[in-house]
Chains A and B, each alone.
Chain A
Amino acid sequence: MGFVHGLKCRECGREYPVDAIYVCEFCFGPLEVAYDYEGIKRILTRDRITSRPQNLWRYKELLPIDGEPTSGLNSGFTPLVRADKLARVIGVKELYIKDDTVTHPTLSFKDRVVAVALSKAREFGFDTVACASTGNLAHSVSAHGAAGGFKRFIFIPASLERSKIVASLVYGPNLIAVDGNYDDVNRLCSEIANKYRWAFVNINIRPFYAEGSKTQGYEILEQLGWKAPDAVVVPSASGSLLTKIWKSFKEFKQLGLIDELNTKVFSAQATGCSPIITAIKSGVDVIKPVKPDTIAKSLAIGNPADGYYATNVVRESGGFGEDVSDPEIVDAIRLLAGTEGIFAETAGGVTLASAIKLIKEGYIKEDDLTVLCITGNGLKTKEAIMGHTGEPYHISPNMKAFEETLKKINEK
């Protein structure tokens, strides 16, 4: 194993040896992992991939670790669900849900990036892992870190939903609730990462961590039968997932694992935090930061690190983006659950609601084979839909009461 030959600045191209660094000393551009694709091409075939266990490490040559993985050995390879009922409602012929609501072990796509980040942190010799999080990442670092025997420092905005706080605490990390929004937490963590030698998965481990998102893209291509969709709709917070899904598609094309790539990539954000969509719609690549105000807290990054690259991917691929209101998010969560039996967190509502708009507006055509990336489980954000789901029928414990109620239900 080991097809990584270094880190490379995405802006100026300067190269660095593999280390826990993330930013170019010269231009501050992001460092990216550089692979030996020729070497990978010689050994990574469709047959080799399909012969391996169904987890994200089946693509390990395209992930930035040197030895064998040590974290997230059961993460990834989530279902790609053909969603015919939902397709009819929203007006496309062939629709799939990439269902990361069931990612092992913490029910969001963050288990992918953390699997890679913690495997790499172990290779670097760190004993403490840390992150700035809006919730899902906190859960994932808490859980994978517990299993891996790491000390854990998890920084969250103090305003996070109570259920998300509990779902981190259960794993026993040091949970630090910071007065402020995610961008405040992130800035603080950048300063802490300067001082303490910890593996901050989304700061100094970020070049490695972010590569884990590619596995969602690889799986989509493999599960579609080694072909790329016509359209993919991706929720955007930092913009990293969207750029990495595009990268995964391009890598599979380059390696000959798919024959053609004509996918249009679409970004989805909540209107209350839509700096990327604002840039896309106004045709610029300068991201103007915002102060988030939306129920989609997992997407509430007002100052998206990869926003610039995300807008470039959307433009390069011929896609577009849409933003949706909080009520549209709630309606979409209910629609997905009611048609396909998948309960997504608020980010999933953002993705579906944005897709509906993009279809109505003609950016996604009826004949486009479309994939929606649903990235987290609705049980994490129950607060968002409380009061919007209807109520149970209360009855006495006897047949008469039941049959009276049944009559009312049947008359509805």
Chain B
Amino acid sequence: MAVKVKIPVPLQRLTQGKDEVEGDSGTIISLINNLEQKYPGLGERISEGGKLRRFVNVYVNEEDVRFLKNEETVVKDGDEVSIVPAIAGGN
């Protein structure tokens, strides 16, 4: 069992069309860096210099990581990570 990572449409071209991929346990930033190895280009779209990009929201088990420990939030096997463009919404 690994960490489930949900990929938004704009990034699915980098994951061969997959809307969900597997990631490694550890911090969010290490998970992203590891995904970059498997899916080149994915990491730099989501993060820059070890920080999440301004327009990317990351959720762990439905909670925004900014309410947790941001990039240093630790995920374990079985957790679900969602990557969501921040620019959605408007009431």
Q: Is A36 at the interface (CB under 8 A from chain B)?
A: no
Q: How far is the CA of A136 from the CA of B91 in the complex (A)?
A: 7
Number of interface residues of B (CB under 8 A): 28
Query: Do B88 and A210 have beta carbons less than 8 Å apart?
Result: no
Q: Is A289 at the interface (CB under 8 A from chain B)?
A: yes
Q: How far is the CA of A134 from the CA of B59 in the complex (A)?
A: 21
Majority secondary structure, B binding face: mixed
Q: Is A186 at the interface (CB under 8 A from chain B)?
A: yes
Contacts of B56 in A (CB 8 A): 28
Q: Is B38 at the interface (CB under 8 A from chain A)?
A: no
Q: Is A203 at the interface (CB under 8 A from chain B)?
A: yes
Q: Find B6's partner among A24, A191, A238 (CB 8 Å cutoff).
A: A191
Q: Find A240's partner among B8, B19, B90 (CB 8 Å cutoff).
A: B90
How extensive is the interface on chain A, given as a class?
35 or more
Query: Do B91 and A301 have beta carbons less than 8 Å apart?
Result: yes
Contacts of A209 in B (CB 8 A): 90
Contacts of B9 in A (CB 8 A): 193-194
Query: Do B88 and A206 have beta carbons less than 8 Å apart?
Result: yes
Q: Find A26's partner among B45, B85, B86 (CB 8 Å cutoff).
A: B45
Q: How far is the CA of A366 from the CA of B86 in the complex (A)?
A: 39
Q: How far is the CA of A28 from the CA of B88 in the complex (A)?
A: 11
Query: Do B89 and A238 have beta carbons less than 8 Å apart?
Result: yes
Q: How far is the CA of A190 from the CA of B62 in the complex (A)?
A: 12
Task: Give residues 9-37 of A contacting B (CB, 8 Å).
Answer: 11, 21-30
Contacts of B53 in A (CB 8 A): 27-28
Among the listed stretches A82-90, A302-310, A393-401, which one makes contact with chain B, having 4 or more residues with CB under 8 Å of it? A302-310
Q: Is A189 at the interface (CB under 8 A from chain B)?
A: yes
Contacts of A299 in B (CB 8 A): 91
Contacts of A24 in B (CB 8 A): 10
Contacts of A219 in B (CB 8 A): none
Contacts of B8 in A (CB 8 A): 23, 190, 194
Q: Is A183 at the interface (CB under 8 A from chain B)?
A: yes
Contacts of A132 in B (CB 8 A): 88-89
Chain B residue with Cβ nearest A302: B64
Query: Do B82 and A187 have beta carbons less than 8 Å apart?
Result: yes
Q: Is B25 at the interface (CB under 8 A from chain A)?
A: no
Contacts of B69 in A (CB 8 A): none
19 interchain pairs (CB within 8 A)?
Answer: A22-B85, A25-B45, A28-B46, A28-B53, A28-B55, A28-B56, A29-B87, A132-B88, A132-B89, A136-B91, A182-B89, A187-B57, A194-B9, A206-B90, A209-B90, A288-B66, A301-B91, A303-B64, A306-B87
Please provide the 3 A-B residue pairs with the shortest distance between their CB atoms, ordered closest to farther: A28-B55, A30-B87, A134-B91
Show the binding face of B for A, using Cβ within 8 Å: 6, 8-11, 13, 19, 45-46, 53-57, 59, 62, 64, 66-67, 82, 84-91
Show the binding face of A for B, using Cβ within 8 Å: 11, 21-30, 110, 113, 132-137, 180, 182-184, 186-187, 189-191, 193-195, 202-203, 206, 209-210, 237-238, 240, 286, 288-289, 291, 298-301, 303-306, 308
